[in-house]
């Protein structure tokens, strides 16, 4: 009777001299086939961003939106003022303890500090992955119910290749879904297909794609309606991601939390929001996805942190964390006021918010000692980036 001798834990000889590979070896081959030459790097980048106690600082506002932020503290929308504000954020000592990635606008990716150090290098020195917004914004979707679609696929491959050379290692593409406008089947399909094509192109050029179909807070609908729409949207997103051969281990998600509409008569508790949101995610998101990085979407700084904390009270199949813009920056702007003498205090304000959300990612945030300003909602009807 013939015997079979195993040559190593990873391979073995089968009858007829065929080679058998172990499950890890087969899985590695599948991953490389799905994402090409960057597969291993994509997986490593995604894991780094989705690391315990850390999340994403989103500072990818367009120049126009950044101008609105600056005007709120009496500053003109000039490149020098935008650079000064972003330098304040990106040179904050100790930020890397709580922040694993920073999403930048194209202008910021190529900027440097006043001392000549590239912002990308400031981030790398703190083990923070540089990311880049790659979409070209929302435009009206013909044939829909006053809905939008996200443009930017034309030329995306070459842009991603250039951003990778500049030091970016992940990307963001934001599209939106409006519940008061339907959403129509056309708008949902367009959002899902656009995200899937973007994700495939980003991975092909070495960038981990953040997949973000934001379900807007606008409306007076209840939380059950939000859940229904979120499940529909994410079902289509993953269908088209699979059709486009996107490597799930090399993506990150940026979903909205499942909440009632901003104009609904009753607010939901953090526990209720966590229950509904995690229900939706478990029904729709494969455990192969490494990280869920929630957007704040106009919640107050404290609301966003409390809700995240509630979702981390028990183990999840994925890293459940944050990718906040306003919910990390609001207190910083108010403290800074554009004055050099306030820079240290503003950076401390950033660390306070970053640490609070780090604790929430670990399920240890209490909300004690938060200011009234941090509890104020930031929802703006029809808000645009």
Do 297 and 262 form a contact (C-beta atoms < 8 A)?
Answer: no
Active-site residue, selected from the candidate residues 214, 236, 249, 254: 254
Tokens 């996805």 belong to residue: 289
Active-site residue, selected from the candidate residues 106, 147, 212, 236: 212
Closest CA to 261 of 138, 106, 384, 379: 379
212 is annotated as an active-site residue: yes
Between helix 301-311 and helix 343-361 the angle, nearest 10°, is 30
Closest CA to 339 of 101, 127, 85: 85
124 is annotated as an active-site residue: no
d(Cα 356, Cα 369) in Å, to the nearest integer? 11
- Which residues are designated catalytic? 212, 254
């Amino acid at each position: 009777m013939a015997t079979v001798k195993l040559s190593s834990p990873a391979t073995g000889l089968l009858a007829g001299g065929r080679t058998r590979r172990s499950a890890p070896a087969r899985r590695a081959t599948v991953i490389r086939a799905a994402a090409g030459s960057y597969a291993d790097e994509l997986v490593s980048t995604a894991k780094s961003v989705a690391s315990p106690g850390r999340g994403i600082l989103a500072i990818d506002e367009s120049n126009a939106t950044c101008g609105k932020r600056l005007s709120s503290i009496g500053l003109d929308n000039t490149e020098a003022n935008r650079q000064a504000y972003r330098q304040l954020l990106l040179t904050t000592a100790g930020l890397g303890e709580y922040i694993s990635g920073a999403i930048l606008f194209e202008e910021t990716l190529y900027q440097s500090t006043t001392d000549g150090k590239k912002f990308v290098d400031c981030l790398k020195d703190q083990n923070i992955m540089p990311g880049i917004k790659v979409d070209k914004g929302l435009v009206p979707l013909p044939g829909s119910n006053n809905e939008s679609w996200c443009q930017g696929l034309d030329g995306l491959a070459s842009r991603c290749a250039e951003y990778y050379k500049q030091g970016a290692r992940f990307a963001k593409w934001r599209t939106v879904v409006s519940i008061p406008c339907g959403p129509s089947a056309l708008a949902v399909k367009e959002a899902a297909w656009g995200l899937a094509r973007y994700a495939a192109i980003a991975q092909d050029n070495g960038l981990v794609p953040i997949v973000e179909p934001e379900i807007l807070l606008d409306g007076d609908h209840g939380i059950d309606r939000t859940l229904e729409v979120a499940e529909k949207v994410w079902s289509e997103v993953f269908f088209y991601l699979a059709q486009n051969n996107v490597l799930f281990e090399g993506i990150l998600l940026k979903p909205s939390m499942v909440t009632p509409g901003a104009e609904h008569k009753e607010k939901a508790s953090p526990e209720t929001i966590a229950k509904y949101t995690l229900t939706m995610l478990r029904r729709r998101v494969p455990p192969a996805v490494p990280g869920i990085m929630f957007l704040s979407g106009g919640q107050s700084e404290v609301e966003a942190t409390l809700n995240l904390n509630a979702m981390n009270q028990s183990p999840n199949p994925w890293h459940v964390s944050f990718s906040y813009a306003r919910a990390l920056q609001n207190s910083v702007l108010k403290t800074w006021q554009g004055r050099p003498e306030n820079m240290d205090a503003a950076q401390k304000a950033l660390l306070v918010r970053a640490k609070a959300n780090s604790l929430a990612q670990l399920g240890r945030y209490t909300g004690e000692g938060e200011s009234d300003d941090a509890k104020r909602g930031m929802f703006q009807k029809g808000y645009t980036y």
